[in-house]
Amino acid sequence: MKYYPDADKGLDIALVNREVESAFADHGNDRVQMPPKVYVTLPTGDFRTMPAYLPSLDIAGVKIVNVHPENPAKGLPTVMALTIILETTTGQPVAVLNATGLTDMRTGPAGAIAAKYLAPKKDCVLGIIGTGRQAEAQVRAIARELTVSEVRVWSRNQIHAEAFASRLDTPDNRSVSIERTCDCDILVTTTPSRSPLIQNEWIHEGMHINAIGADAPGKQELDPEILHRARVFVDDPAQAFHSGEINVPISKGLFQTWMIAGTLGEVVIGKRRRERPDEITVFDSTGLAIQDLAIAKIAMQQGKAIDLPFL
Binding site for a second copy (CB under 8 A): 3, 5, 33, 35, 38-47, 49, 51-53, 60, 62, 64, 66-68, 71, 74, 76-77, 80-82, 84, 86, 88-93, 96, 98, 306, 308-311
- List, in sequence order, every beta strand (DSSP E) within 1-141: 2-4, 38-42, 45-54, 59-67, 81-86, 93-98, 123-129
Q: What are phi and psi of 292, to 5 degrees?
A: -65, -40
CB of 32 or CB of 114, closer to a second copy: 32
Per annotation, catalytic residue among 2, 9, 63, 122: 63
CB of 1 or CB of 178, closer to a second copy: 1
Least distance (Å) between residue 20 CB and a second copy: 20
- Dist CA 8 CA 100 (whole Å): 8
Beta partners for 188? 128, 210
Least distance (Å) between residue 74 CB and a second copy: 6
Give the alpha-carbon dihedral of 66, 196, 184, 13, to 10 degrees. Answer: 0
Least distance (Å) between residue 309 CB and a second copy: 4
Pairing of strands 260-263, 208-211: unpaired
- Dist CA 27 CA 112 (whole Å): 17
DSSP string, 221-233: -B-HHHHHHEEEE
CB of 76 or CB of 159, closer to a second copy: 76
Q: Establish whether 63 is a catalytic residue.
A: yes
CB of 72 or CB of 171, closer to a second copy: 72
Cβ neighbourhood burial of 111 (10 Å; 0-12, 13-18, 19+): buried
Positive or negative, the CA dihedral 18, 19, 24, 30 is positive
Least distance (Å) between residue 152 CB and a second copy: 34
- Dist CA 105 CA 302 (whole Å): 15
Give the contacts of 41 (CB within 8 A, at least 6 positions apart): none
Least distance (Å) between residue 62 CB and a second copy: 5
CB of 72 or CB of 270, closer to a second copy: 72
The half-sphere exposure of 177 on its side-chain side, counting CA atoms within 13 A, is: 4
Least distance (Å) between residue 139 CB and a second copy: 25
Q: Which residues participate in catalysis according to the annotation?
A: 63
